Structure 1
């Protein structure tokens, strides 16, 4: 009888939780959820995105993304606007408060990355990131 294969998806989820244990305390200190931080970080890199693009990049389901953005807009962290050429398209940008959150979190998050790297090792971390990028690029 064949021995069951280790579950890739379960192992990835468990690894995500282990990695988040380095970052979650900082998010809690700054009053941000993981989803809000992903939105802030991605918008900081891309300036302006349509909601569906943001949801895809942040790995947040579109129905959940709507609630996240409503709360972030109410908190003054993002702006939403309809595209001029197509009123059905909604574009999202960081507001000044969102940019300030990114700036205040960046140093803290970098320190968390350094702690993780110290435990795992720089080469292993780079190898892991490379392997994960390869996995993401595999077509179904």
Structure 2
């Protein structure tokens, strides 16, 4: 015999519409809709795009640092780097200081993918800023950074 949820005692948690983790997930999904649409044209996934952006911004780096900066788990990052390497967008080489590690770099082709798609990415970013206001966007990014570093 199954029980209806009304038969259970209440759980001492805030309502889901007041839950910060759930609100963050919902906001992320809303923000990702136009980004996913834009990425369909590129043939890149969200994770591949992030990884290329991080490499463009920070330059060649250790795979572990790259995974952290791109918010990827190491097994996923390894697979994504392999895929991007096959596409010619990144290269991997052994770290001369620690031969157990690899250094990942963006190639000219990877850079060109970013250059080609930067206007659309900027347009999406500008639309969010226009909808929320520049000050709210800055405040939100600052608050999220505080959460990341707490």
Common fold by TM > 0.5? yes
- The structure number with the bigger radius of gyration is 2
In structure 2, the partner of 1:114 is 126
* 1:17 and 2:13 correspond: no
Residues 73 and 79, structure 1, Cα contact 8 Å, conserved in 2: yes
Aligned counterparts of 1:116 and 1:22: Cα–Cα separation in 2? 10
Q: Structure 2 regions of 5+ residues with no counterpart?
A: 1-9
Matches within 5 A, 1:89-128: 89-128=101-140
* 1:42 and 2:51 correspond: no
With normalisation by structure 2, the TM-score equals 0.86
Q: Secondary structure at the match of 1:29?
A: helix
Q: CA deviation at 1:2?
A: 8.9
In structure 2, the partner of 1:75 is 87
Number of aligned positions between the proteins: 138
Q: Secondary structure at the match of 1:88?
A: coil
Tell me the alpha carbon deviations over residues 75-132 of structure 1, each in whole angstroms, 9 at most, x when there is no partner.
0000000012321010000011101011112111001111111222222111111111
Q: Structure 1 regions of 5+ residues with no counterpart?
A: none
With normalisation by structure 1, the TM-score equals 0.92
Q: CA deviation at 1:7?
A: 2.1
RMSD value over aligned CA atoms? 1.5
